[in-house]
Homo-oligomer: A and B are copies of this chain.
Amino acid sequence: MKDIVSLCKRRGFIFAASDIYGGLNGFWDYGPLGVELKNNLRDRWWKDMVITPPIGPDGSPIEILGVDSAIIQNPRCWEASGHVGGFCDPMVDCRESKKRYRADHVFVLVPKDGEGFSFAFDKDDEDDVIEKRLQKLAKGKKVEDFERTMLDQIDPAEFGEIIGPDVKNPGTLTEPRQFNMMFHTFVGATAGDENKAYLRPETCAGIFLNYKNVLDSNRAKVPFGIAQVGKAFRNEVTPRNFVFRSREFEQMELEWFCEEDEVPMWFDFWLEERTRFWESVGIPKSELHFLNVPKEDLAHYSSRTIDVEYRFPFSAPDFDELEGIAHRGCFDLTQHQEFSGTKLEYFDQANNRRFLPHVIEPSTGLTRGVLALICQAYTVDESRPSGVYLDFKPSMAPKKAAILPLTAKEDHVPTAQKLYMDLREDYNVDLDIKQNIGKRYARQDEIGTPFCFTIDNETSKDQSVTVRHRNTMEQERVSLDNVKAFMKEHISKA
């Protein structure tokens, strides 16, 4: 993971926010290549959902409408959704290390024999870290002498016997307290409770708020969907794993409104569609895991949720969440109808009845998706100068091709410029004139450019260029006239 983070900074994918000021924990900026990759994933999702939605079970394309709602909404909305009261994480502080932990992210080794202290660890701590710490502090005891329990399962009265994750002394952990993860601000000139507002912790609320306006203005008919891409904010106690768990992030959410008795069919439909989506952008099914969230872990309004998990480097060999597909029932519309006093029932003209549609929500993180694409593309190859290349699908690659004059002299540059101008109307391409050709190939490998076109001394003679394939490093000659056709063939089919 460290290598990936380092490449992301070195090549301009992702930087720490406010890097020159030492950063800000949990916030990240996207550099020139990161923003293109993110835009590619965003645009593909939008196209797949809104512009060319999938064909439904009846053979006709389904209907999905897009919205873009404000990050700050009327605070009543978050009372209705349950976020003001319940969007909390249990948090403990350590009085010694001054660090803060999510109680559900810390596990404790409790001695089976009841003798001696318990030891707390971060849930991501690796085996050797755990062994080492026990050797140091547990006087000959080993992992097998302990029982493993999550911190939030332990009676706070027992906290006195626990040695916190980063310290040596027992009894330093505070009791867990509930911490609301919504960022708040104040709209208007006074910072009083009457002006308190929240940054949305998820984009889907903006969909439910607009459900009626979208329905009325577009004569939509159930079943139909509303889709949104946008930023969301969570005041995470412990942001971690690069952009995976950050405090500011982007989501891509679809709310699919359908009749209750069609929920099972549509749930399967979306599970299949979303899997196909991730495969189409370069995440093979073998790296995905489908977690059928157990009943006891479901959100109170959900009767079924499947998490689509990806094998991130920090979770490997296990998986962590990339997308959640949830049946939300009619919880949200019911709540907003009650809290707003606005009727949100759908009128089914054919059967002359009114009802609140049920909702299936495929919800994914755009920034998390970008991380998955980068992790999946990251390929070590000692045989090449860069030692690594990014194996993006051409359609996702930030740059589709690089145009490289072999030297900065003679007629290489004007020919390269002309080819660049020809291609850039249709593709995001790089014209790179500086440095020797080996270094430029290495750079293009590291940023995942699938094709490099090199203009050399032969070019002026036979009007052809060398095309180098990123993954195989194979080179072939293509006539200048055929470069566009080459691109069309190789980009569109991937």
Measuring CB to CB, which residues of chain A are less than 8 angstroms from any residue of chain B?
9-12, 15, 17-32, 34-36, 38-39, 46, 51-52, 60-61, 65-74, 76-77, 91, 100, 179, 183-189, 197, 199, 206, 209-210, 212-214, 217-219, 231, 233, 235, 237, 247-248, 336, 339-340, 342, 344, 417, 420-421, 424-425, 428, 431, 434
**CB pair A31 B217 closer than 8 Å:** yes
A-B residue pairs in contact (CB < 8 Å), sample of 14: A17-B70, A17-B72, A18-B209, A19-B212, A20-B336, A20-B342, A27-B72, A29-B67, A31-B210, A39-B46, A72-B247, A184-B185, A185-B185, A219-B434
Q: How far is the CA of A32 from the CA of B25 in the complex (A)?
A: 35
CB distance from A242 to the nearest CB of B (A): 14
Q: Residue on B with the closest CB to A32?
A: B65
**CB pair B219 A30 closer than 8 Å:** no
Residues of B within 8 A of A9 (CB): 213, 217
Q: Residue on B with the closest CB to A60?
A: B417
**CB pair B336 A68 closer than 8 Å:** no
Residues of B within 8 A of A187 (CB): 24-26, 183, 235, 247
**CB pair A12 B213 closer than 8 Å:** yes
**CB pair A20 B72 closer than 8 Å:** no
**CB pair A74 B22 closer than 8 Å:** yes
Q: How far is the CA of A138 from the CA of B316 in the complex (A)?
A: 79
Known: A35-B68, A248-B72. A209 touches B77 (CB 8 A): no
Known: A74-B23, A235-B187. A10 touches B209 (CB 8 A): no
Q: Residue on B with the closest CB to A221?
A: B434
Residues of B within 8 A of A188 (CB): 235
**CB pair B100 A210 closer than 8 Å:** no
Taking A27-B70, A31-B217, A70-B248 as known contacts, 11 extra A-B pairs with beta carbons closer than 8 A to each other, sorted by chain A number, are A18-B76, A19-B210, A21-B74, A21-B209, A21-B340, A24-B72, A24-B73, A24-B187, A29-B206, A31-B218, A52-B424
**CB pair B61 A421 closer than 8 Å:** yes
**CB pair A71 B248 closer than 8 Å:** yes
**CB pair B11 A217 closer than 8 Å:** yes
CB distance from A77 to the nearest CB of B (A): 6
**CB pair B30 A67 closer than 8 Å:** yes
Instruction: Return the contact of A183 from the options B185, B340, B428 (Cβ within 8 A).
Output: B185
Q: How far is the CA of A282 from the CA of B236 in the complex (A)?
A: 44
Residues of B within 8 A of A66 (CB): 32, 35-36
Residues of B within 8 A of A248 (CB): 70-72
Q: Residue on B with the closest CB to A425?
A: B52
Q: How far is the CA of A189 from the CA of B76 in the complex (A)?
A: 23
Instruction: Return the contact of A210 from the options B29, B219, B421, B428 (Cβ within 8 A).
Output: B29
Residues of B within 8 A of A237 (CB): 189
Residues of B within 8 A of A218 (CB): 12, 31-32
Instruction: Return the contact of A20 from the options B11, B184, B340, B424 (Cβ within 8 A).
Output: B340
**CB pair A28 B70 closer than 8 Å:** yes
Q: How far is the CA of A446 from the CA of B233 in the complex (A)?
A: 36
Instruction: Return the contact of A32 from the options B76, B212, B217 (Cβ within 8 A).
Output: B217
A9, A67, A342, A424: residue with the most chain B Cβ atoms closer than 10 Å: A67
**CB pair A68 B24 closer than 8 Å:** no
Residues of B within 8 A of A73 (CB): 17-18, 21, 24, 27
Known: A18-B209, A30-B68, A214-B32. A189 touches B179 (CB 8 A): yes
CB distance from A185 to the nearest CB of B (A): 5
